Chain A
């Protein structure tokens, strides 16, 4: 049956002028505009009053709906000087600058409005939006406005700034990503890299120009000898900054490696750099030749391009979040003596404090419930997919989301000691993410490479020493120059960043391209269940009607549609949205009983929606109800029944049927699991109960399945696998997986909404992309193979160059051709081969 067939044209016309939501009960303003609610009207009028009408002209109906009621979050916390100090980036007199993170920024109109806030609040000088980071940087006058009033203004127009615990990290703290940097996409490190590249490119171009006389043999006539001095001198001048500034990282890194007794790829590179520069300097100063400064500068230029490409990051994603960026900054505390409510920083909460948490808000600390009962959604913390009903005196845990009406709780643990945050006190969580060092294949072979180059150079030196001593030194340096592994050094970053690009096009965003090698090594796959194998978003809504329903079809749909809008329960919201398009009617006597259901009267007819036991009280006869459902229950397969939750509907004393919410598996899960099995055993580690065990055991050959796992259990499980010598790949979505993701060799956080929170990890995958995971794992291995091939290619160039060098024929012109040719051909080779393979594997290659 189809519930959505009665599309009503009236609702098409009645759209809110602010947010575009259908206005079932329109609110009119003085002009011709109509709104879905008072909240939207107030925002519209506020904007109109301050000449901000163009807000509505960039994008169609850009507003945020305020239907759920304008919540005025408590920002009095922002009056606290200590908190101000950590939120404000810098002050000069009364001028101050701060950055807000505003998740609801989504269109051109948002940018325009947020950059014209000075029209509403005159204390604001300027607002700058960074669209990708969803942040607003505000410069304001502290004597005329305050942090608090700006935050309140923002939330009153539908752009509530998100204040999280990690905002308290002072900007001066070098260990945390500073707030200033959070606003700009380029880190200072990347900026320096750009500048170094600029210097090298500048020198490369000019040195090549000045080397033309040499290429064309123009300096032969004795009258023009002074010219080669001018050009030579200029080349030296141009190359000095390249050596001292642009190439400094390579020299420093090589020196550090040698000081520790190791050899990395920067060692042969540095030998090449010094040989090139020293030889060229000697040739020019002694007047014996023109030097290889063109090759030298070009070499550094290409190396830096490789380095820049390796540093590619995804600006809109954050890979190092912990609970501090998940928990709220402040909470409402009730004073024990005066009973007054005031917002306090979560870190200042003491055991025994009484706090109030409103609908849809997160519980910041472990606490004991003081109210009769409450519905709490823990799916992000424990992996439990259904909201849990908690009774008075029972514990609630930090990270749970309160559903329905607000609750009062008594703090039982400080924030740093709660169930969730304990995880971060574990040793495995203390290690820095970037410290998870990857040894590249290139670094592993560089000792052999360096030694063989030195060996060949010394052999050549010895050989020429006996044949023609005058040439011996020239040949020795020529070998060192030509064997410089420029192309070799480029092949890894170019292949990996090309692979990283391809994977990101397909929905897998890897923190750093070098981590692709880690992905390619993985041989054990651990999955979280809720939100990972099953999708929370794609929950299917199926209505199984009874016979009585056919008589009341239209009436019942209308009643359902209108009454469900008043319920705050997530399941009611789903029912409501499935009936969108049906005209709403007046609802009276709405009454919701937490954990059971709701009842209401619609046009005089009573409707009850909820648990079976709850709606029984609203039925005239129970017999009809049972006879109808059993028929359906038999027809639904055993598998579906185990996954479903039922919501029953009683209307006018008759049983209408029930809704089932099928926590559907993600698309292609079976295929992915079978695909990953080729690479290693599969494990399932779920925080949920084992109610779906049969469904999942049919999907694939699991090595082991664990249920009811606490976050710490997951972490220990991963440690166990790692200590067995397995290279684990963990795929999870919630904070409860944070420990496992961190311990894993390669941790993938799954996210349906890219702008929402995801725990610290090595890669983030889009929900829809999971079905390609097996192919992606295969592709990462292919990428490593491409690196090997490009190594072979660059070694070939080195051999050709060596041929010239040993025979003493390496003229500057030959060097100037071989060096760029090898670099560019490696770039082209890796770019096209990775894309060719990706296409063959069925991955998307172009955006």
Chain B
């Protein structure tokens, strides 16, 4: 079990980073395109983007929380 955790925990962090990176990448790409198309709405788009990124990031950080909880079992 402990050996499994030693392999699994870093993989969990890596997997969460991959997912979060793809999600935030798509969100920022869409926001940049929207700003390019409509520069006058940039402040509203930016705010929506920051909120969205925060929600995506939260899922990544849940993984970190789980890692901290399971770290005690190593």
Is B a genuine binding partner of A? no
User: Footprint of A on B, CB under 8 Å?
Assistant: none
User: Footprint of B on A, CB under 8 Å?
Assistant: none
